[in-house]
Amino acid sequence: MEGDHITTLSTPVMVVDVDIVKRNAEKMREHWTKLGVTLRPHMKTHKTLECGDIMTGGSRSCIVVSTLAEAGFYADHGYDDILYAYSVPFDKVERCAVLAERLSLFQVLLDHRDALEQLRKRPLTDGRVWHVWLKLDCDNGRAGVLHSEPEALRLAQAISESEGVELTGVYAHCGNTYGCRGAEQIHAVAHETTTLVLQFMEKLKAVGISCKSSIGSTPSCSQPISDMAKLSEVHPGNYVFFDVQQSVIGSCGLEDVAVRVLSRVIGHSPHRNQLLLDCGWSALRLLSMTQEHGRVEPLSGQLDYSRYPLGTLLTIIPYHACATAMMHSVYYVHSGGRLVGKWTPTRGW
């Protein structure tokens, strides 16, 4: 397989340009190193060891995951300093405890007193403490305790004062940048989130609490504002692949998108002015599809079917790389169109 051209692959299939992946990762890493802010890359987009190594520069340390399956996978391959950035599920506290007692640093996240109580009920062994990040909602419309609610400060204090628990940091995700169009709008959301996080850090300081601060989202970290240099960490993830959505938002150009789905024409539908592809929603999330079939049509005018005979190979840029990657059990990796290997993502929760 290695050395063969990607056009020899059976479709539908997801291919990854490793050179673009490395370029995207290096650009993000260099940028935040210059600003003096720790980059904690999120693994949720690709969920692979090989891409994780590229994103961490081979350190196998300081990452974010969205599932415990990911956490266990990376821990099994020598990764440490892992942040499970998902409000602690009560049915998974014991699995979290096992990782916290196994690694030198495993961190969890919460936004409710009941979750804190669950951690208190399961003290860690050998003098270890739970390392906890408080999830703060800075009007982002995601999970988290609302920054303006008095309970946010009270919960931070409760975490800080709990035996066997340490308040490691304050974590915000400006997911509302995904509704932006262009750098100006991204900057506005990033500014609001950064300002609210830094203001909350001052509230903590006023009551004698010192901890880290972190915000994320690929748009905000690809188009950062100067005040983000005051943060301790940032945690983007999609940037290593990018996608059409990110190009529309303004995070990147289409030349920065590292992933494609290859698909072949399997039918003509002149009565609908459409082509039928062998790529449905089980391989890609697109405009119009069923489980195993995709339909494409021109933006304007009539299709020239002579240009797309049955069997024609089409290269599709995913709208959302995270969702597309989840549809594939293996990614075929290439450099300059020639296959160099395969990456197998972990799955599960």
Q: What is the CATH number of the domain that holds 25?
A: 3.20.20.10
Residues 120 and 28 in one domain: yes
Q: What does DSSP assign to residue 215? A: E
Residues 157 and 266 in one domain: no
Question: Last residue of some domain: 205, 240, 275?
Answer: 240
Q: What is the dihedral of CA 26, 9, 320, 196, to 10 degrees?
A: -20
Q: Sign of the C-alpha dihedral, residues 66, 69, 75, 77? A: negative
What is the identity of the amino acid at 298? P
Q: Is the peptide bond prior to 345 cis by the omega test (within 30 degrees of 0)?
A: no
For residue 196, give every residue at least 6 positions away whose Cβ sits within 8 Å of its Cβ, in sequence order, or none: 136, 138, 139, 147, 172
Residue count of the chain: 349
Please check whether residue 98 lies inside any domain of the structure: yes
pLDDT value at residue 29: 97
Distance of CA 123 to the CA centre of its chain: 30
Q: What CA–CA distances, in Å, run from 234 to 61, 226, 240?
A: 14, 13, 14
Decide if 95 contacts 119 (C-beta within 8 A). no
What is the identity of the amino acid at 93? V
Q: What does DSSP assign to residue 76? A: H
Low-confidence ranges of the chain (pLDDT < 50): none
What is the identity of the amino acid at 124? L
Q: Give the max Cα distance, the chain.
A: 72
Decide if 330 contacts 344 (C-beta within 8 A). yes
Nearest to 238 by CA among 253, 259, 217: 217
pLDDT value at residue 285: 64
Per-residue pLDDT tens digits for 60-70 = 999 999 999 99
Report the alpha-carbon distance of residue 10 to residue 161 in Å, rounded. 57
Report the alpha-carbon distance of residue 80 to residue 105 in Å, rounded. 6
Please check whether residue 192 lies inside any domain of the structure: yes
Q: What does DSSP assign to residue 141? A: S
Please check whether residue 53 lies inside any domain of the structure: yes
φ/ψ (deg, to 5) at 168: -80, -40
Distance of CA 256 to the CA centre of its chain: 16
pLDDT value at residue 286: 54
Residues 145 and 222 in one domain: yes
Nearest to 43 by CA among 25, 66, 73: 66
Distance of CA 309 to the CA centre of its chain: 38
Report the alpha-carbon distance of residue 111 to residue 161 in Å, rounded. 16
- How many domains does one find in the chain? 2
pLDDT value at residue 298: 84
Question: Last residue of some domain: 217, 240, 263?
Answer: 240
Please check whether residue 138 lies inside any domain of the structure: yes
Angle at 168 between CA 212 and CA 143, to 5 degrees: 85
Residues 159 and 228 in one domain: yes
Range of 316's domain? 6-10+255-343
